[in-house]
């Protein structure tokens, strides 16, 4: 993850002077852009506790391919939907691996693109996320129990940039903050809430049509 973060920073720093060497894409209302990428869901440090504070919870990071589709309502305003293949996460209780689970985090965002008259297209966005957890595999201290993780709804913030190689193709580096919390039940009894609230960051290749 540190290597990917360094790569994103390097692309941002390197893209600024190069952007002016390329011709700006002439975005129009009605344009679409589809992006295929690879992203990391990196939960915040410390994700709460279960069983009245007795079990400290830590959620590990997950990596998965992603796809986004954005429709430009105007040349500078778009609506974007993020989808992905399932992300897998390990969960530790008091430092011991206790379960693994998969999740899907579709996110719908409204995005503002800053006009630059160059190939460099920075943007910010705000939206709503729905996360569904499934394929829970209990291990260690939870082996032999049935754990369920509740669905989550929450706000999401987005920022990044597109670097347009030409009128059609682009490279994107971006980061999101997503509010994700899930209620945890063991054998049908709620034992607490896990607050994940991750940063989601990565790279993608885009095609405009």
**Domain ranges for the chain:** 2-208
Residue 96 pLDDT > 90 = yes
Q: In 111-125, which positions are buried (b, 16+ CB within 10 angstroms) versus exposed (e)?
A: bebeeeebbbbbbeb
Model confidence over 67-90: pLDDT tens digits? 999 999 999 999 999 999 999 999
Rounded distance, CA 82 to CA 105, Å?
Answer: 8
Rounded distance, CA 22 to CA 117, Å?
Answer: 10
Model confidence over 118-146: pLDDT tens digits? 899 999 999 999 999 999 999 999 999 99
pLDDT band at 23 (very low <50, low <70, confident <90, very high): low
33 neighbors 67 (Cβ within 8 angstroms): no
What pLDDT was estimated at residue 53? 83
Mean pLDDT of the chain: 90
Residue 101 pLDDT > 50 = yes
pLDDT band at 13 (very low <50, low <70, confident <90, very high): very low
Residue 9 pLDDT > 80 = no
Residue 56 pLDDT > 60 = yes
Which two tokens mark 27?
């975005």
2-208 fold: Porin (2.40.160)
87-103 mean pLDDT = 96
45-74 mean pLDDT = 94
pLDDT band at 24 (very low <50, low <70, confident <90, very high): low
Rounded distance, CA 99 to CA 142, Å?
Answer: 7
CA dist list (Å): 152 to 40, 108, 131, 207? 19, 14, 5, 31
pLDDT greater at residue 150 or residue 17: 150
Residue 17 pLDDT > 80 = no
What pLDDT was estimated at residue 51? 87
Model confidence over 164-203: pLDDT tens digits? 999 999 999 999 999 999 999 999 999 999 999 999 999 9
What pLDDT was estimated at residue 11? 47
Q: pLDDT > 70: what percent of the chain?
A: 88
- The string of DSSP letters for 63-121 reads EEEEEEEEEESSSSEEEEEEEESPEEEEEEETTEEEEEEEEE--EEEEEEEPP-SSSEE
92 neighbors 60 (Cβ within 8 angstroms): yes
């Amino acid at each position: 993850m540190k290597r990917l973060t360094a790569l994103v920073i390097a692309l941002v720093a390197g893209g600024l002077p190069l952007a002016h060497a390329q011709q700006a894409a002439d975005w129009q209302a009605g344009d679409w852009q589809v992006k295929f990428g690879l992203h990391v869901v990196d939960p915040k440090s410390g994700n709460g506790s279960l069983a009245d504070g007795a079990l400290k919870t830590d959620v590990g990071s997950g990596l998965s391919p992603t796809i986004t589709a954005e429709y430009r309502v105007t040349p500078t305003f778009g609506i974007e939907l993020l989808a992905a293949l399932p992300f897998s996460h390990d969960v530790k209780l008091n430092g011991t691996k206790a379960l693994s689970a998969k999740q899907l985090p579709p996110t719908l965002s409204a995005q503002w693109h800053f006009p630059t008259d160059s190939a460099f297209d920075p943007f910010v966005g705000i939206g709503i996320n729905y996360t569904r957890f499934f394929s829970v595999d209990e291990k260690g201290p939870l082996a032999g129990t049935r754990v369920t993780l509740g669905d989550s709804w929450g706000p999401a913030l987005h920022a990044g940039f597109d670097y347009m190689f030409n009128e059609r193709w682009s490279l994107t580096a971006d980061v999101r903050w997503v509010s994700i919390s899930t209620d945890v039940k063991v054998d049908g009894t709620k034992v607490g809430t896990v607050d994940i609230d991750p940063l989601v960051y990565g790279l993608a290749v885009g095609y405009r049509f």
